[in-house]
Chains A and B, each alone.
Chain A
Amino acid sequence: MSTHKITVTVNGQQHSAEVESRLLLVHFIRENLRLTGTHIGCDTTHCGACTVLLDERPVKSCTLFAVQANGRAVRTVEGLEQNGQLHPVQAGFKEEHGLQCGYCTPGMMMTATALLEGNTNPSELEIREAISGNLCRCTGYVNIVKAIQHAAKEMRGAAAVPSQAANEADATVHA
């Protein structure tokens, strides 16, 4: 068994700790840093409740060791709000009622954040594909998709929402 001194930047703040090799990143986040917004769901890489951004890419933090994050940057749901202002993704989930029990929500919002920071005008199909590794057992995803579209609209400013024609094209591809 070995322990390692690691330094991880979490939500812009550096944290150093001595960790066991086998400590999972999600346990480091929840137990060492007490950032309990990141949830553990299935614990087997399926559900995505533990999704965080590692160097701005979504990863399942139950499937990564804390030591692997040494020297890297992690963003969790606690990092979304800035200066008391909800992130557009958080505001979208609030406005469109994108959650019921809330268990999947932090992971869902981190995936959505990464998607929208790379593309503020995703099609419905792109949104549905992006969140296909995040399971929600309450909503049927309809309001989650609306929430992400709401956030996308806010993030691209006054630009128009995706046209009806684009949405119909998505529906065709789905069928």
Chain B
Amino acid sequence: MIPSSFDYVAPSSLDEAIAVLGEHAGDAKVLSGGQSLIPMLKLRLAAPTVLVDINRIPGLDYIEERDGALHIGALTREHALEASTVVRAKYPILLDTARVIADPIVRNSATVCGNVAHGDPGNDHPATMIALGASFVARGPNGTRSIPAREFFQGLFTTALSEDEIVTEIVIPAPPPRSGGAYFKLERKVGDYATAAVAVQLTLGAGNDCARVGIGLTNVGSTPIAATQAESFLVNKPLDDRTIAQAAQLAADAADPFEDRRGTADYKRDVIRVLTARAIRLAAQRAQGTAPTAGRA
């Protein structure tokens, strides 16, 4: 399959890239990993007249912890998350998430920032970023602004980004001690989008009560969903079976799935219920240090 014709530019600076986006407002697309965009171009689901390839811009490929936050640059590939020592040690939810995105070959090219900026509710990082309380740094002609993940996703493939803005960085607040997270995804096969998936990041307080928690849902609505009622229900409660079951039901109630080849709406809501309970349990075990931060059977 061959995409429609387009012009291609590979600027060497962000300012230059933003200027090109501005000149062709609405008709230009940013090319980073390309693992979602290029298939869409080939299927002619998208036909921008200009592609702005940011891969030649130096200084955008990093994962670093500074000023109390983890910073992930625009050109950081998914495989780099998997290989990162700091991610493995302190952000197990990010490792869980990266490992179930597409397949290892795609992850050599695909970028973390692209996964969120694309605005596809089937993508995996958005729910995780919601759970982690992350924000996205958007740079445009008038400088940079920070957009919380919870305000970023506005509709199917629609985000808070302006046509002349680029996501340059994801910023994730470093979790306090006794924090843990987990991402559970049900997929039909390797490389598939989620039938449904759940991200949970929590911090334990005194007596193992839940001090704070973020819960994000993947592919059960036209945007990734923050399960806010389940979150508020859990705060200051002990994470016993009954509480977890009630929170899981509240998360399922927050889902608004469509029926498709992956299942009926009722089925997907129930998958959310089951995965939410599993994710809360594993997140709590990781917070207590009783489950490994990397990998699970």
Contact = CB atoms under 8 A, between A and B. Distances in A.
Contacts, number: 85
Interface residues of B, number: 31
B7 A64 contact: no
Interface stretch (A82-90, A94-102, A130-138): A130-138
B297 A173 contact: yes
Given A21-B5, A21-B6, A65 B108 contact: no
Interface string B229-267: 000000000000000000000000000000000000000
A65 B8 contact: yes
Interface string A96-135: 0000000000000001000000000000000001101110
Interface residues of A, number: 32
B228 interface: no
Interface string B72-96: 0000000100000000000000000
B135 to A, nearest CB: 29
B36 to A, nearest CB: 9
A51 interface: yes
A59 interface: yes
Contact of A57 (B1, B51, B108): B108
Contact of B7 (A2, A43, A68): A2
A40 to B, nearest CB: 10
Given A1-B5, A21-B8, A64-B109, 8 more contacts: A1-B7, A44-B39, A44-B43, A59-B108, A60-B105, A63-B39, A130-B104, A175-B297
Q: Which 8 A-B pairs have the closest CB atoms?
A: A133-B103, A21-B8, A1-B5, A133-B105, A2-B7, A132-B190, A57-B108, A58-B105
28 contacts: A1-B6, A4-B8, A21-B5, A21-B7, A24-B42, A43-B1, A44-B42, A45-B102, A45-B106, A57-B79, A58-B104, A60-B109, A62-B42, A63-B34, A63-B35, A63-B39, A63-B109, A64-B38, A64-B109, A65-B8, A65-B34, A67-B10, A68-B53, A68-B55, A132-B103, A132-B104, A133-B190, A175-B297
